[in-house]
Amino acid sequence: MANRTFISFDWAIKKILRHKENFDVLEGFLSELLGFDVFIQNLLESEGNKQAENDKFDRVDILVQTRTRELMLIEIQYDDEEDYFHRMVYGISKLIAEYIHEGQRYGQIKKAYSINILYFRLGQGKDYIYEYQGAFIGHKKKDILNPTNYQKQKYAIQSVSDIFPKYYILRVGSFKAEKPIEPIDEWFYFLKNSEIKDGFKAKGMERAKSVLRYEMMAENDKLAYRRHIENRRIESSVIETAEDKAIRRKSIQFATKLLSAGSALPFVAEMSELSLQEVTLLSQGKELDKEDDE
């Protein structure tokens, strides 16, 4: 079997899947995730649509409008953000405010979806797909507030949650299955490995096999993609280096406190995980890594 290399999903969204002839790939992914067939009408302007040549630290987003006028904001995020939950709320709220026309009745707002593909661990949990299903629960009686029959009929809904935005969190790093069990697992396998195995049958996969192949891209796109991958490596290296320096700085500070308290050098070395030679230098009032900080 010939070796086939596929481009990563974030690059595909930036460069390939924005073209109308390739909507079927994105439609397949969304259909498998949401559990119903999604048909894209067009792509609207969003923050991530503003492409920059230096995309090293960019997050990626794409805003989809379906044929039934739902709005789907898809974000891909590599860097850890503690306040990401809050940004999800802000992003979808801002989106609804931007795309309701002045003077339009609020009842005309269609369903909005916030789909977040994350390559860092957000929150606590063991699953790799999380769906938010909101409900208004009574403070005293603990009952669920439901729409009236008139509201159900007029707005074609069954519950209040059918009106409110729907949030999906896709934690790519938590996906472990080597042999996908469900169709959406095939998409997760691709998101994590940029690889499409023979026999994958999820919606959009067959088209993705040709559209997202590295060998099929123009030479200038190949060059840009290689630069993109290298930027990702640089970003990971910068983050890892910064984390290592922070850990070492804390070790030195801890060792210095132990020495000030009169602790023996071997004990300080063991507790701080510094070498005995380094601890000895600290005890002599010498600075470690001085040249690195200049």
- Concatenating the DSSP letter of every residue in the chain gives -----B--HHHIIIIITTSGGGHHHHHHHHHHHHTS---EEEEE--GGGS--S--TT--EEEEEEETT--EEEEEEE-S--TTHHHHHHHHHHHHHHHHSPTT--GGG---EEEEEEESS--SS-S-SEEEE----B-TTT-PBP---HHHHHHHT-SSGGGTS-EEEEEEGGG---SS--SHHHHHHHHHHHS---TT--STTHHHHHHHTBGGGS-HHHHHHHHHHHHHHHHHHHHHHHHHHHHHHHHHHHHHHHHHHTT--HHHHHHHHT--HHHHHHHHTTPPSSHHHH-
In a domain, 36, yes or no: yes
| Mean pLDDT, range 280-288, rounded to an integer | 88
Residues 177 and 281 in one domain: no
Examine the domain organization and report whether 195 and 234 are in the same domain: no
Q: Are residues 119 and 190 in the same domain?
A: yes
Q: Kindly tell me if the per-residue pLDDT of 183 is higher than 90.
A: yes
Within this chain, do residues 230 and 169 fall inside the same structural domain, yes or no? Answer: no
Q: Are residues 123 and 33 in the same domain?
A: yes
Residue 39 lies inside a defined structural domain of this protein? yes
CB neighbourhood size of 265 (10 A): 16
Q: Which of 185, 217, 249 is the last residue of a domain?
A: 217
Of the residues 191, 217, 243, the one at which a domain ends: 217
- pLDDT tens string 217-228: 888 888 888 888
The confidence score (pLDDT) of residue 52 equals: 45
Residue 40: inside a domain = yes
Same domain, 167 and 237: no
Query: Based on the domain organization, do 183 and 37 belong to the same domain?
Result: yes
pLDDT confidence of 215, banded at 50, 70, 90?
Answer: confident
Range of the domain at 17: 9-217
Task: Please state, rounded to an integer, the average pLDDT across all residues of the chain.
Answer: 83
Residue 66 lies in a domain: yes
Q: Do the Cβ atoms of 111 and 162 come closer than 8 Å?
A: yes
Contact of 48 with 75, CB cutoff 8 Å: yes
Q: Please give the residue that has the higher pLDDT: either 17 or 80.
A: 17
Q: What is the pLDDT of residues 117-132, one digit of tens each?
A: 998 888 878 889 998 8
| Number of structural domains found in the chain | 2
Q: Based on the domain organization, do 121 and 24 belong to the same domain?
A: yes
Q: Do 202 and 80 have their domain in common? A: yes
Q: Do 258 and 123 sit in the same domain of this protein?
A: no
**Would residue 4 count as lying in a domain?**
no
In this structure, which amino acid lies at residue 96? Answer: I
What six digits make up the tokens of 12? 């595909």
44 against 176, higher pLDDT: 176
Residue 99 is predicted with a pLDDT of 75
Q: Give the pLDDT mean for 133-157.
A: 84
18-69 per-position pLDDT tens digit: 889 999 999 999 999 999 999 999 888 655 444 444 444 456 788 888 988 8
Asked if the structure places residue 42 within a domain, the reply is yes
Q: Give 82's pLDDT tier (boundaries 50, 70, 90).
A: confident
Q: Where among 200, 217, 234 does a domain terminate?
A: 217
Q: Is the pLDDT of residue 102 over 80?
A: no
Residue 244 and residue 149 in one domain = no
Whether residue 3 lies inside any domain: the answer is: no
Domain membership flag for residue 13: yes
**Residues contacting residue 122 through CB under 8 Å, at least 6 positions apart:** 84, 85, 169, 171
